């Protein structure tokens, strides 16, 4: 009875924490500790160990639809049977669950649409990438590319190369929400319609102020919640 009550209490707490999942630090700590799911601040849609199991690492500012699924293993097609009796203890064929190698890493500022399935052939979705709704992702997705389809294929780059390079240099995703809000108020066009020139000017202005790094007023570096390299 106590085990049932404890499980019900945990489920209730997780439900309440998910109501503000984009910035809940306790939720992130719980999933990192218990499920090997490490999620950066302001990302959402990946706090479900059955739908997106660990080991999993997600960067900051990621938008992941609630119907996205990932899997870290396939049924063994070269074995005598494809049945999970060969790798899951609960079926009675083996003594301990098989430990799968590899980890799915999703970079900062990735958008993954509804009903996307990420298969084990994909272990990295690069920063700034977009995965179209309904895609079946079978291999790695390069940074700042837009992919879609079954299997997912590159449609185009999200930005021209010079803008991508400047975005990478800016590391804007390390801004917290108040700092990003300040930047929107300061220069709305820079945020909604960035160019290599406008971003470079912003970084130069920040460095001229003596910050040594491109930040907006009020920026906070979250050392306990670093973005991906």
Nearest to 131 by CA among 121, 52, 114, 67: 114
Q: How far apart are CA 24 and CA 28, in angstroms?
A: 7
- The two tokens of residue 194 are 């960035």
Q: For 113-158, where are the E strands, in sequence order?
A: 117-118, 124-125, 130-131, 136-137, 145-148, 153-157
Q: Is the distance from CB of 141 to CB of 152 less than 8 angstroms?
A: yes
**Using the 8-state DSSP alphabet, how is residue 141 labeled?**
B
Element housing 205 (H / E): helix 196-208
* Catalytic-labelled residue, pool 34, 75, 83, 98: 75
Element housing 162 (H / E): helix 161-170
Is 75 considered catalytic here?
yes
Q: At what angle do helices 2-18 and 25-35 cross, to 10 degrees?
A: 130
Q: Residue 2 to residues 5, 7, 10, 41, 131: CA-CA distances in angstroms?
A: 5, 9, 12, 34, 43
User: What residues act catalytically?
Assistant: 75
């Amino acid at each position: 009875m106590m085990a049932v009550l404890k499980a019900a209490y945990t489920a209730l707490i997780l439900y309440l924490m998910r109501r503000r999942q984009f910035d809940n630090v306790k939720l992130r700590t719980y999933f990192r500790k218990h499920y090997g799911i490490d999620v950066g601040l302001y990302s959402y849609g990946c706090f479900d160990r059955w739908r997106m199991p660990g080991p999993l690492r997600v960067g900051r500012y990621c938008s992941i639809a609630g119907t996205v699924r990932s899997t870290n293993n396939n049924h063994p097609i070269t074995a005598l049977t494809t049945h999970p009796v060969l790798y899951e203890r609960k079926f009675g064929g083996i003594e301990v669950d098989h430990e799968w190698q590899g980890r799915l890493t999703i970079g900062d500022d990735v958008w993954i649409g509804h009903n996307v399935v990420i298969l084990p052939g994909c272990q990295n979705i690069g920063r700034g990438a977009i995965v179209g709704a309904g895609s079946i992702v079978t291999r790695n997705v390069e940074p700042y590319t837009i992919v879609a389809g079954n299997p997912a294929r590159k449609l185009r780059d999200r930005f021209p190369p010079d803008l991508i390079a400047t975005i990478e240099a800016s590391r804007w995703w390390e801004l917290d929400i108040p700092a990003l809000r300040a930047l929107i108020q300061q220069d709305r066009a820079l945020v909604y319609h960035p160019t290599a020139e406008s971003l470079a000017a912003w970084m130069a202005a920040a460095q001229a102020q003596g910050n040594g790094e491109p930040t907006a007023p009020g920026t906070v570096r979250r050392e306990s919640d670093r973005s991906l390299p």
